[in-house]
């Protein structure tokens, strides 16, 4: 949960690097919250209002952590736009998000793996 909170605290930070663990722990908790919101929407509201609020509220943190994850693989944040290409773009983006970051420093900063993790 600390990984998710740390990403939300850095909601509009698009510089630096994010390691795989930070990105995927955020994605896990986002998915859990989205499923819970969808269930509550279906049972209580009969609409998708809570899911929409969640998606809009976490849009900037999601973009920020994705851009930082791309920076960890020494790619520009603009590579996030490749996900807009149907089918192929999503697969390429998934590969970029899954591969290990650069071992040392790159033009986006120091390796976050050696900087420690959120408490």
Q: What is the dihedral of CA 16, 17, 23, 29, to 10 degrees?
A: -30
Question: Tens digit of pLDDT for each residue in 72-93?
Answer: 999 999 999 999 999 999 999 9
The pTM of the whole model exceeds 0.85: yes
pLDDT mean over 51-80: 95
Mean pLDDT of the chain: 91
- Output phi, psi for 102, to 5 deg: -65, 140
């Amino acid at each position: 949960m600390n990984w998710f909170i740390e990403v939300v605290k850095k909601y509009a930070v698009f510089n630096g690097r994010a390691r795989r663990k930070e990105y995927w722990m955020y994605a896990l908790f986002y998915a859990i919250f989205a499923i819970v919101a969808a269930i509550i929407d279906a049972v209580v509201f009969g609409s998708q209002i809570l899911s929409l609020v969640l998606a809009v509220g976490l849009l900037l943190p999601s973009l920020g952590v994705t851009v930082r994850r791309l920076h960890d693989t020494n790619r520009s944040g603009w590579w996030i736009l490749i996900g807009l290409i149907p089918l192929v773009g999503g697969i390429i983006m998934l590969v970029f998000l899954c591969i290990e970051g650069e071992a040392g420093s790159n033009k986006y900063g120091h390796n976050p793996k050696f900087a420690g993790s959120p408490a």
